[in-house]
Amino acid sequence: MSATAAEHADTRAHAEDAALATILEVLRERTGTDFSRYRRATVRRRVLNRMICLGANTFEHYLDMLLAEEGEALSLLQRITIKVSRFYRNSATFDLLRRDILPELARTNGRRPLRIWCAGCGYGEEAYTLAMLLEEAGIPGTVDASDIDPGALSAGRRGWYPPSAFDELPAALHTTFCEPSERGYRVCERVRARVSFWRHDVISDAPPPGEERFDLVSCRNVLIYLDAEVQHQVLRSIDAALAAGGVLCLGEAEWPSAALGQTLRTMNHKARLFRALPMHSRAAAPPPFAGSA
Ligand SMILES: C[S@@+](CC[C@H](N)C(=O)[O-])C[C@H]1O[C@@H](n2cnc3c(N)ncnc32)[C@H](O)[C@@H]1O
Whole-structure pTM value? 0.90
* 106, HSE (Cβ side, Cα atoms, 13 Å): 16
Q: Is 216 helix (H, G, I), strand (E, B) or coil?
A: strand
Give the separation between CA 113 and CA 172, rounded to whole angstroms: 24
Q: Tell me which H or E stretch contains 117.
A: strand 114-119
Indicate the residue among 80, 112, 141 that finishes a domain.
80
Q: In terms of pLDDT, which residue wins out, 170 or 288?
A: 170
* Residue 69 within any structural domain of the chain: yes
With a 6 A CB cut-off, is 159 part of the ligand 1 pocket? Answer: no
Q: What is the mean pLDDT of residues 141-161?
A: 96
Local structure of residue 35 (DSSP, 8 states):
G
pLDDT for position 191: 98
* Local confidence band at 82 (pLDDT 50, 70, 90 cut-offs): confident
For residues 200 and 280, membership in a common domain is answered with yes
| Average pLDDT value over all residues in the chain | 90
Give the separation between CA 62 and CA 47, rounded to whole angstroms: 9
For residues 237 and 105, membership in a common domain is answered with yes
Of 235, 182, 238, the C-alpha closest to 213 is 238
pLDDT for position 258: 66
Number of H helices, E strands in the chain: 12, 10
Q: What is the mean pLDDT of residues 70-79?
A: 95
Give the separation between CA 190 and CA 169, rounded to whole angstroms: 18
In this structure, which residue's CA is closest to atom 25 in ligand 1? Answer: 81
pLDDT for position 208: 83
How far, in Å, from the CA of 81 to the mean position of ligand 1? Answer: 7
Is residue 12 pLDDT above 80, yes or no?
no
CATH of residue 14: 1.10.155
For residues 226 and 169, membership in a common domain is answered with yes
Local structure of residue 38 (DSSP, 8 states):
B
Give the separation between CA 60 and CA 191, rounded to whole angstroms: 46
* Residue 149 within any structural domain of the chain: yes
Phi-psi category of residue 266: left, alpha or beta, with phi > 0 → left and psi -120 to 50 → alpha: beta
With a 6 A CB cut-off, is 251 part of the ligand 1 pocket? Answer: yes
Range of the domain at 44: 3-80
**Closest atom of ligand 1 relative to the 86 alpha carbon:** 9
In this structure, which residue's CA is closest to atom 24 in ligand 1? Answer: 81
* Local confidence band at 182 (pLDDT 50, 70, 90 cut-offs): confident
pLDDT for position 183: 81
pLDDT tens-place string over residues 96-107: 999 999 999 999
In this structure, which residue's CA is closest to atom 14 in ligand 1? Answer: 120
pLDDT for position 41: 92
How far, in Å, from the CA of 222 to the mean position of ligand 1? Answer: 5
* Residue 293 within any structural domain of the chain: no
pLDDT for position 290: 37
* Residue 228 within any structural domain of the chain: yes
User: H helices of the chain, where?
Assistant: 3-31, 40-54, 59-68, 72-80, 91-96, 102-109, 125-137, 150-158, 171-177, 189-192, 228-241, 280-284
For residues 123 and 55, membership in a common domain is answered with no
Q: What is the mean pLDDT of residues 25-50?
A: 94
* R_g of the chain computed on alpha carbons: 21
Q: What is the mean pLDDT of residues 169-198?
A: 96
With a 6 A CB cut-off, is 205 part of the ligand 1 pocket? Answer: no
pLDDT tens-place string over residues 39-70: 999 999 999 999 999 999 999 999 999 999 99
pLDDT for position 111: 81
For residues 203 and 112, membership in a common domain is answered with yes
With a 6 A CB cut-off, is 244 part of the ligand 1 pocket? Answer: no
pLDDT tens-place string over residues 240-283: 999 999 999 998 877 776 667 778 899 998 889 999 988 755 65
For residues 100 and 226, membership in a common domain is answered with yes
* Residue 7 within any structural domain of the chain: yes
Indicate the number of domains in the chain. Answer: 2
pLDDT for position 288: 44
* Mutation choice for ligand 1 from 24, 27, 46, 81, CB with most ligand atoms inside 8 A: 81
With a 6 A CB cut-off, is 129 part of the ligand 1 pocket? Answer: no
With a 6 A CB cut-off, is 218 part of the ligand 1 pocket? Answer: no
In this structure, which residue's CA is closest to atom 9 in ligand 1? Answer: 85
**Closest atom of ligand 1 relative to the 122 alpha carbon:** 27
Find the range with the poorest average confidence among 51-60, 108-117, 201-210, 250-259: 250-259
Indicate the residue among 80, 105, 140 that finishes a domain.
80
Indicate the residue among 18, 50, 80 that finishes a domain.
80
For residues 76 and 131, membership in a common domain is answered with no
Written as one letter, the residue type at 279 is M
Q: What is the mean pLDDT of residues 157-161?
A: 96
With a 6 A CB cut-off, is 147 part of the ligand 1 pocket? Answer: yes
In this structure, which residue's CA is closest to atom 2 in ligand 1? Answer: 83
State what percent of residues in the chain have pLDDT above 90: 73
How far, in Å, from the CA of 141 to the mean position of ligand 1? Answer: 22
Give the separation between CA 243 and CA 241, rounded to whole angstroms: 7
* Local confidence band at 228 (pLDDT 50, 70, 90 cut-offs): confident
For residues 27 and 76, membership in a common domain is answered with yes
For residues 209 and 115, membership in a common domain is answered with yes
With a 6 A CB cut-off, is 124 part of the ligand 1 pocket? Answer: no
Is residue 6 pLDDT above 70, yes or no?
yes
Is residue 207 pLDDT above 90, yes or no?
no
Q: In terms of pLDDT, which residue wins out, 243 or 286?
A: 243
Find the range with the poorest average confidence among 7-16, 167-176, 244-253: 7-16
